[in-house]
């Protein structure tokens, strides 16, 4: 009988471990959902990462820097409409209000991965570390995914850096 009881005990333990893991994430004010890195052709030396940032804390926070071993430089970016032309702008921080969330999505806020050290393939995992204004860091393993282009806004994205 003990043999049959074991698997469910293991399940319970795994469940507890999961609960503990998510609790430690919650102890950190910032939690990340839906993170993804855009799959790009091998010739491309830049790509972008998107995600939803939730601030579970009681005070506003800001992501002030990001880095990744997959890229020489990682920057915080936004798209702005300048006289009808979408341009990318580097930001010094991305603020996340207390109890609120901010979405990094194609055509808007994103993390820019510049000078990729190697081609990224769909299905790869890219390590991305976010640096908060508190000095805390949060390291994520972000899957590389094909991201459909919605509308023409993203057309200028890849060319943005090359075009300057």
Query: Alpha-carbon distance 55 to 84, whole Å?
Result: 32
Residue 113 C-beta: closest distance to Cu ion, Å: 9
Stretch binding Cu ion (CB under 5 A), from 10-18, 27-35, 55-63, 88-96:
88-96
∠ at Cα 74 (145, 156), nearest 5°?
A: 65
Q: Which of 112, 116, 138, 144 binds Cu ion (CB under 5 A)?
A: 112
DSSP 133: T
| Selected binder of Cu ion within 38, 47, 77, 154 (CB under 5 A) | 77
Stretch near Cu ion under the rule CB under 5 A, chosen from 1-9, 14-22, 81-89, 140-148: 81-89
Nearest Cα to Cα of residue 73 among 161, 156, 154: 161
Are 109 and 90 a contacting pair, CB within 8 Å?
no
Of the CA atoms within 13 Å of residue 40, those in its CB half-sphere come to 21
DSSP state of 44: -
Which of 61, 88, 113, 120 binds Cu ion (CB under 5 A)? It is: 88
CB of 122 to Cu ion, least distance (A): 20
Q: Which is nearer to Cu ion, 26 or 150 (CB)?
A: 150
User: Please, which residue, 29 or 157, has the CB nearer to Cu ion?
Assistant: 157
Q: Which residues are near Cu ion by CB under 5 A?
A: 77, 88, 112
């Amino acid at each position: 009988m003990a043999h049959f009881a074991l698997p469910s005990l293991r399940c319970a333990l795994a469940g507890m471990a999961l609960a503990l893991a998510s609790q430690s994430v919650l102890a950190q004010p910032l939690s990340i959902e839906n993170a993804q890195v855009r799959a790009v052709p091998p010739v491309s030396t830049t790509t972008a990462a998107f995600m939803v940032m939730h601030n579970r804390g009681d005070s506003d926070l800001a992501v002030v820097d990001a880095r990744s071993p997959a890229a020489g430089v990682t920057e915080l970016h936004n798209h702005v409409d300048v006289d009808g032309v979408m341009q990318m702008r580097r930001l010094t921080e991305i603020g996340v209000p207390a109890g609120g969330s901010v979405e990094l999505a194609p055509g808007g806020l994103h993390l820019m991965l510049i000078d990729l050290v190697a081609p990224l393939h769909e299905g790869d995992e890219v390590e991305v570390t976010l640096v908060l204004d508190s000095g805390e860091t949060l390291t994520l393993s972000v899957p590389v995914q094909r991201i459909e282009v919605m509308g023409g806004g993203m057309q200028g994205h890849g060319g943005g850096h090359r075009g300057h």
